[in-house]
Amino acid sequence: MKKAQIPYISQEILEDVKRPLLAAVDLGSTSIVTYLMDGLTGRQLSVRSMLNPQKKYGADVVTRSSYALEHGAGILSGCAAEAVNHLLREAARECQRSSEDIVRIVMVGNTCMHHLFLNIPTDTLVVAPHEPKVKEAVKRNALDYGLLVHPSAELWWLPNIGGFVGADTVGCILASGVHEQEELVLLVDIGTNAELVLGNRRRRIACSTAAGPAFEGVKTSCGMRSSDGAIDHVTEEGGRLLYHVIGETEPVGICGSGLLDAAACLLKTGFMDESGRMEKTWHFTPKVGVSQKDIRELQLAKAAIAVGIRLLCSRYGAEFSDIREVQLAGAFGSYMDPASACAVGLFPSELEHKIRPIGNAAGEGARRAALYVEEYEVCSRLAEETEFLELAGDREFSDAFMEELPFPV
C-alpha cells in the first residue's frame, strides 16, 4: 500500500498526536461498518460492524425520515453517533490505542442516512422527486456531531448523487473503478435500498429501488444476518432440499442468500408455482423455514431490482448482452449464487456468468477517501458526472414492476 497522505491535518494536530488514526464509516440502513487505519502508514488496523440501532425508529429510510420530521432528526443522529462511537472505541482498544487519536473520519451512506446523521431536514426526501437538500461533499468538525474522537478531528462525507442514491454509491463507484472502465459495467449494491449504476468512463447513470430488507434477513419469518447459524445456501438433489449453515452449526435462521436459493429450489421442484404461491410453509427444521409471506417479500425485492436494471439499460440505450460485467457490492453479494438470482428473475439470465462479488465497496471507497485526499477530491467529480434516473412515480416503472413480480417460467 502506498503511504497515506494527510495534507488536510494541521501541523498543530500532528504535534499533538504523534501516531494519528484515520477512520471510515459505512452508515447503512441495516448495518454500520467502521474501518480504523494507521494515519502514517495507511495500514488497516481493525474492521468492526453492528446492526444500525436506528431500526427501532423504522425498518426503512422513509419511515425513519417521517419519524425525524415528527420528532426531530437529533434523536436518530444521536443514536447513530453513539453506535459509531462504540465501534471506534472497540476498534481502537483492539490495537491498544485511543479513539481520541482519530483525526479524520470519512463517512458514506444513502441520502437519508446522510441527512439524518447531519441533522438535515428530510422533508424533501419523503416525497417525490425525493431531492436531497445537500448533494455536495461535506466537511465538519467531528465533535459537533457527537463523535468522541480528537477535539479537532474532521468529519468528511462523500457527496450525494440524487434521490436515494447517496454517498455510499459514490464510494462504490470509486472503489469499483467503474469510472475507469472502457466497456459497460453494471454496479449493484443490494441493501434495504438497492443502488444501481450502469456505465463506464464516458457515461454513467444511477438509480435506486426500494428493494426492502428481505435480502438482509429483515422482515422475514426466520430472517437473520449472514452469521453463524444462518442457512446461507440451499441446493436441490433428487427432489430433496439440502442446506448449508454458516459455522457448521444447527440452523437458527436463514439469511438473504439462503432465501434466494430456497425460492429457486422450491420453484424448480414445483413446491411453489411461478406466481409465488405455496400450499404451506416449507420447513428445513421445525423452527426454521420459508413462509408464503417470505416469498412475497422476496418477490417485491427482486422485482424492484429487475425493473431498475431494465430501465437503466433502456435509458442508456443498451441491451443486457452489452454489459461486460456485473459488480455486486455488499455483504449479500458475497454469498449470493448467480444461478439462483437468475432463476428467480433478480437478474436477467444473460448476466448469470458475468456476476462478480466485490465486497463492501461503499466502505472501501470511504476507506480510500480517508487515506488519500486525491481520492476524496475525485468523488465530487464522480457525483456530478453521474446522471440520476428517478424511478419514483414513473409509470413505466409501475407497469414493469407488475410484470417482474412473477417468477420466470
User: Of 212, 172, 166, which is closest to residue 189 (Cα–Cα)?
Assistant: 172
Please check the confidence at residue 6 and state whether its pLDDT lies above 50: no
Predicted confidence band of residue 10 (pLDDT cuts 50, 70, 90)? low
Q: How far apart are the first and last CA of the chain?
A: 49
Please check the confidence at residue 4 and state whether its pLDDT lies above 50: no
How many alpha carbons fall within 13 Å on the CB side of residue 130?
Answer: 26
Distance CA 279, CA 276 (A): 10
- Which letter, b or e, does each residue of 236-245 get, where b requires 16 or more Cβ atoms within 10 Å of its Cβ? beeeebebeb
Please check the confidence at residue 8 and state whether its pLDDT lies above 60: no
pLDDT tens-digit readout, 330-383: 888 888 999 999 999 999 999 999 999 999 999 999 999 999 989 999 999 999
According to DSSP, residue 138 is labeled E
pLDDT tens-digit readout, 174-183: 999 999 999 9
Residue located via cell numbers 440502513 = 29
Question: Can you give the pLDDT at residue 9?
Answer: 60
Neighbours of 365 (CB within 10 A): 30
As a CATH number, domain 11-157 is: 3.30.420.480
Give the H or E element holding residue 358: strand 355-359
User: Of 170, 149, 144, 172, which is closest to residue 39 (Cα–Cα)?
Assistant: 149
Question: Can you give the pLDDT at residue 261?
Answer: 98
Indicate the range of 180-189, 364-373, 386-395 predicted with least confidence: 386-395
User: Of 136, 169, 93, 75, which is closest to residue 364 (Cα–Cα)?
Assistant: 169
Question: How is the chain split into domains, by residue range?
Answer: 11-157, 178-409
Nearest-5° angle of CA 345, CA 31, CA 343? Answer: 10
